[in-house]
């Protein structure tokens, strides 16, 4: 006798803006139906994979109906799904079909086994902090979004340093000339911030990392601040400055523009398969303790 699954309605997502084979989705969808689950398919995934026979839904419908989102892809796919589902509170689990996969815990060759064990109730939940990003010009907010990994102010194609003022909770911190600045969550500390010599923050740490990119003054080091902080970045010299969030280009920044970053009121919840360990994941992905 098959027991009732821990999650009854599951939504499937594919790699963001990429064509994928429909084989994995067909296999997983059939497995979930055999377990008595209702299966929803993200509309963009349905188009890119040319899938039929699934109930196709947009983010609003998935947010209202799904108990769990299963993302088949890499970290970029997880970031995209997380931003769009944050306000609805739908938890996510990832099947790694990308490269590193810091957020996609399940190996492709063990997908059915691990999803089955999650449906049996053998899983762990973990809450991750989101960033709230607001761009202001002349006192008015001109852009707002959420980010799970990071917010990045950096130079564009011209290649010249940019200059900006940084305030935290209204207090002046520094006037920085550099290639840019990364404001990272603990989740994003293993992404762009890590390649810029930022610290790795355990997911439960209530802080944000501020990581300068190639600062002109070498004493400008990465710092970690409370996640209750409001971080204001004001462009002072911005010949060719740009703004990114979670690797997505928002656009160009002009002098005087303020980029304001704070903790979002929403969080995202990850579902981890049995046996998941954050430090084991770091050892594997970063090749720690490797015998040379």
257 CA to centre of own chain: 25
CA dist., res. 181 & res. 164, Å (int): 9
Instruction: Quote the strand ranges of the chain, DSSP E.
Output: 9-13, 38-42, 55-57, 68-73, 92-96, 106-107, 124-137, 140-147, 150-155, 162-168, 171-178, 180-184, 207-213, 223-226, 231-237, 241-245, 248-253, 258-272
Catalytic annotation, pick one of 75, 105, 150, 246: 75
Three-class SS of residue 190?
Answer: helix
Q: Is 138 one of the catalytic residues? A: no
Query: For residues 172 and 71, what is the distance between their CA atoms, to the nearest angstrom?
Result: 41
C-alpha to C-alpha distances, 248 to 62, 104, 109, 286, nearest whole angstrom: 23, 19, 30, 24
Residues serving a catalytic function are 75
């Amino acid at each position: 006798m098959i027991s009732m699954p821990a999650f009854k309605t599951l939504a499937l997502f594919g790699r963001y803006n990429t064509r994928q084979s429909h084989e994995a989705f067909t296999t997983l969808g059939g497995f979930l139906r055999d377990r008595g689950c209702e299966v929803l398919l993200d509309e963009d995934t349905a188009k890119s994979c040319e899938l039929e026979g699934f109930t196709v839904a947009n983010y609003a419908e998935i947010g209202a109906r799904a108990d769990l989102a299963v993302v088949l892809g890499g970290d970029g796919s997880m970031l995209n799904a997380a931003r769009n589902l944050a306000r609805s509170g739908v938890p996510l689990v990832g099947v790694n079909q990308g490269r590193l996969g810091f957020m996609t815990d399940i190996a492709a060759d063990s997908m059915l086994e691990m999803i089955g064990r999650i449906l049996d109730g053998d899983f762990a939940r973990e809450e991750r902090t989101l960033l709230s990003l607001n761009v202001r010009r002349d006192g008015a907010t001109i852009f707002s979004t959420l980010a799970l990994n990071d917010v990045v102010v950096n130079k564009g194609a011209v290649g010249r340093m940019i200059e900006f003022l940084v305030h935290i909770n209204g207090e002046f911190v520094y006037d920085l000339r550099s290639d840019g600045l990364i404001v990272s969550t603990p989740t994003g500390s293993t992404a762009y911030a890590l390649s810029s010599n930022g610290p790795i923050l355990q997911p439960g740490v209530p802080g944000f990392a501020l990581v300068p990119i190639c600062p002109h003054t070498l004493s400008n080091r990465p710092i970690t601040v409370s996640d209750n902080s409001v971080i204001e970045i004001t462009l002072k010299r911005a010949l060719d400055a740009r703004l990114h969030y979670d690797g997505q280009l928002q656009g160009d920044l002009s002098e005087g523009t303020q980029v304001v970053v704070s903790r979002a009121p929403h969080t995202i919840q990850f579902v981890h398969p049995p046996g998941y360990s954050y430090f084991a994941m770091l050892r594997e992905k970063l090749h720690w303790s490797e015998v040379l």
